Amino acid sequence: MIFVSSNKHKFLEISRMMENKGITVEWKRMKYEEIQADTTEEISLDSARKLSASIGEPFFLEDTGIFLDSLGGFPGPYSSYVQSKIGNSGILRLIEGRNRSAYFLTVITYFDGRLFHQFSGKLNGTIAQSERGNLGFGYDPIFIPDGFDITLGEMELESKNRISHRSKALQALVDYLLANHGI
């Protein structure tokens, strides 16, 4: 399976999950252009459509966002831009004194060589009072998954993989492949 992404952390999480299922993931490391759109689904699909013209064989990619309830779902599809401009400390300042509920959403788009298929995974949680942990990446140090009292930044990769948005979306893809192609 070819996975397209510029993000090493995503690849490490995905390849470990797939390894545990006996599937080898080949990392096509590249930065591709992402449109700015209202939904993660649209962004993920648009990227896959454009890349399919040059890749020409089955692959998958994913787009992920963090959605803060008290900010009407912001940054959501703008998560990458917001992370690079204001970072986790900026998010902590933005939601000071507000409801801290949030969720991660991952949308995988799989191109089977002809058609596109989407699979999503969600992880609910709350935004921590301060950054904690140096594991994971991106928003992990400020996100406490429901049912835990540590952030994703304090979780080993295997533990994050057991509960994450990304692993749920990936499991849906694997289920689809098993049902339709036998992998």
**Site residues for ligand ITT per CB under 6 A:** 5-7, 10, 31, 63-64, 79-80, 83, 136-140, 152, 166
Please state the closest distance from residue 182 (CB atom) to ligand ITT, in A.
Answer: 27
Peptide bond into 75 cis (omega under 30): yes
Which of 63, 112, 149, 175 is labelled catalytic?
Answer: 63
Please state the closest distance from residue 148 (CB atom) to ligand ITT, in A.
Answer: 14
For ligand ITT, the closer of residues 146 and 178 by Cβ is 146
The CB-side HSE value for 181 (13 A sphere, CA atoms) comes to: 9
For ligand ITT, the closer of residues 10 and 22 by Cβ is 10
For ligand ITT, the closer of residues 89 and 180 by Cβ is 89
Please state the closest distance from residue 11 (CB atom) to ligand ITT, in A.
Answer: 9
For residue 39, count other CB atoms closer than 10 A to its CB: 14
> Quick check: is 149 catalytic?
no
DSSP-H helix ranges across 5-156: 8-19, 40-55, 79-85, 87-94
Mode of pairing for the β-strands spanning 26-29 and 2-5 = parallel
Q: Which helix (H) or strand (E) holds 124?
A: strand 116-127
For ligand ITT, the closer of residues 6 and 134 by Cβ is 6
Please state the closest distance from residue 83 (CB atom) to ligand ITT, in A.
Answer: 3
Task: Supply φ then ψ for residue 98, to 5 degrees.
Answer: -110, 170
Mode of pairing for the β-strands spanning 2-5 and 116-127 = unpaired
Q: Which residues are identified as catalytic? A: 63
